[in-house]
Amino acid sequence: MAEEESATQADPANAGSGKKMLVLGLLGILLLGGGGGAAWFFMGGAKEDSGKHAKDTHEDEHVTEPGPVVELDPFLLNLADRDELRFLKVSIKLELDRPEEKTDYQNKIPAIRDALLVLLSSKESQLLRTVNGKKRIREEILTRANGVMSRGKVANVFFTDFIIQ
């Protein structure tokens, strides 16, 4: 009889842990199914939404399409430092907002180079060494180049070499 009592006490304990495992398993399956359904929905699983989404993406591509990139000859110039003689060697590429044939870029290259030469030679090396200084000079180059051009604009400025000595 003592054996029967100990067997009946062990069964409720095992039955309780089995129910807990079953509930946890079902809960896990529900969470995975819900997560998969949500992912399918948000990733464009519905046919009606996916067509609309594809059209929106296609329209956005035309808006952000980069223009042609043209390269200026490298600049090698003296900086405006007073304590020491410092040089700057910089190569610049300009991104145009439209095809080069529809701009007056080719006719304005000497004027753009002159404007940038005057701008860059007026800067001190201390300013140009920092990231913020490079960002600021990039904006100034953009402004000066756009001030020279009458047909078309410069959309972006890229430094491909930037050496201060």
| 8 or 103, greater pLDDT | 103
Mean pLDDT rounded to a whole number for the chain: 82
- The model's confidence at residue 12, banded by pLDDT at 50, 70 and 90, is low
Contacts 24+ apart (CB under 8 A), 104-113: 104/149, 104/150, 104/151, 104/152, 105/70, 105/149, 105/152, 108/148, 108/149, 108/150, 109/72, 111/148, 112/72, 112/144, 112/145, 112/148, 112/149, 113/72, 113/73, 113/75
Q: Which pTM was predicted?
A: 0.60
pLDDT at 50: 47
- The model's confidence at residue 148, banded by pLDDT at 50, 70 and 90, is very high
Is the per-residue pLDDT at 163 higher than 80? yes
Is the per-residue pLDDT at 142 higher than 70? yes
| Residues in Cβ contact with 11 at an 8 Å cutoff, skipping those fewer than 6 apart | none
What percentage of the chain has pLDDT greater than the value 70? 76
Q: 145: part of which helix (H) or strand (E)? A: helix 131-148
What percentage of the chain has pLDDT greater than the value 90? 59
Assess if CATH 1.10.20 describes domain 69-164: no
Tell me the per-residue pLDDT of 64-73, one tens digit each, with 9 for 90 and over. Answer: 678 899 999 9
Torsion of CA 35, 41, 44, 47, to 10 degrees: 140
Cβ atoms of 32 and 24 closer than 8 Å = no
Q: What is the mean pLDDT of residues 81-90?
A: 94
Tell me the per-residue pLDDT of 23-60, one tens digit each, with 9 for 90 and over. Answer: 887 777 877 777 777 776 777 655 554 455 555 555 54
